[in-house]
A and B are shown apart, each in its own frame.
Chain A
């Protein structure tokens, strides 16, 4: 395998990891709010969070393109304030991966947090721990396995992201080319042999991530 193949594989793993890390804090926070609190608009937020799972990825990509483009609400602001361009750069690939993985992370994290007996948190509070210390020392360790599994599944989903990415980042070799985009491009060019190599790499990466997620989910929580 040549250098470019490894570069594409590395770039894909890197953007998937960056996208997962990006959504981890807000994803866990939102999962906690959904698992532990009752608030106005909760059902609406639940539905909105699930949308990227059910809406065609290309449609999500179109919304992202409109939001993050130079004339978009967020893209325009970023360019004016920080001088940063988002669409058709690696940043857009990370954001597309993050948005498409977000529902999976939130759903898994919510289940993990709901699995923690609230009695432990209540007792921790009566022992003098504030809400933050209780979360860090009781909730988080007890839900850690499920949260890690959620992160791994989100990473696996990000690895295979295609529809939203092609809309918001395009296929620019060396800049935005992920494994999925490259496979599609190579097949269009009739280079099936090269596409098969990338496919094998994709399967290996995704299998490793999904397997790890399954192992983490199946292990009995402490």
Chain B
């Protein structure tokens, strides 16, 4: 996977998102304080916001190019997106949520990742007939991962997936993320403002500050050498 963000610009309320970056790691962290523009950057990559300048290229596919006016709709990008609140469809049960991307097709083997495989890897087979309102925080998160993975995306965007979970649940969900990375082989862009999560999960990290990518590197190295106090690793 090779994601190129070239001259990307999108004015926001108090600053402008301005990003130039090439991302090719299997699991890349996007780190920054609240309001740094992390979620907006994910929305731009997913096609939910239109940048005023720059290009987004995923492998050979130009997803958006402000110069030529090209802007691929989200449904044509093959970019999965799990928002912070998961946004599980409340009128559908777990199975229907998981199968949403299958259009009208019943659950079963399909090209890429199979329904059964996702159920097993994420340990959600027993939840299939449950209404989403009855799920716990960790279960909701795993169902949201599964739903996104079943759409067979080329890139998966995860927006602070552990933010709403307590420490114990975080410990339980992190192994699922690592298994997802290894089992499905889908490159992921992982947004967080917790350095420990980034170090535990990511191969590389980009630091975003007021809409700009200010540093990048290996997580452990970057967080231990950074002068900014909020970049420091927190005691476990």
- Chain A residues with a Cβ under 8 A of chain B: 117, 119-120, 122-131, 133, 137-138, 141-142, 222
Q: B27 within 8 Å of A by Cβ? A: no
Binding site for A on B (CB under 8 A): 43, 46-48, 73-75, 77, 79-81, 83, 85, 87, 89-91, 100-101, 103, 147-148, 151, 153
Residues of A contacting B83 in the complex (Cβ-Cβ under 8 angstroms): 119, 122-123
**For B46, what are the chain A residues with a Cβ–Cβ distance below 8 Å?**
122, 126
Q: Given the known A-B contacts A125-B73, A125-B74, A128-B101, are A138 and B89 also in contact in the complex, defined by CB atoms under 8 Å?
A: yes
Q: A117-B87, A138-B89, A142-B90 are in contact. Are A125 and B48 (CB under 8 A)?
A: yes
- In the bound complex, do residue A141 and residue B73 qualify as a contact, i.e. CB atoms below 8 Å apart? no
Report how far A97 CA is from B34 CA in the complex, Å. 52
Contact: B100 with A124, CB < 8 Å? Answer: yes
Contacts of A131 in B (CB 8 A): 73
Task: Given the known inter-chain contacts A119-B83, A142-B90, A222-B90, please indicate yes or no for A126 contacting B147, CB distance below 8 A.
Answer: no
Residues of B within 8 A of A119 (CB): 83, 85, 87
Docked-complex contact A129 and B91, CB < 8 angstroms: no
B103-A141 in contact (CB<8A)? no
Contacting pair B100 A122 (CB below 8 A)? no
Q: In the complex, what residue of chain B is closest to A121 when comparing beta carbons? A: B87
Interchain CB contact under 8 A, B48 and A120: no
Q: How far is the CA of A104 from the CA of B168 in the complex (A)?
A: 50
B79: chain A residues at CB < 8 Å are 126
The smallest C-beta distance from B189 to any residue of chain A, in angstroms, reads 13
Find out whether the CB atom of A128 lies under 8 angstroms from the CB atom of B48.
Answer: no
Q: How far is the CB of A113 from chain B (nearest CB, A)?
A: 15
Contact yes or no, A122 B101, CB < 8 A: no
Contacts of B74 in A (CB 8 A): 122, 125-126
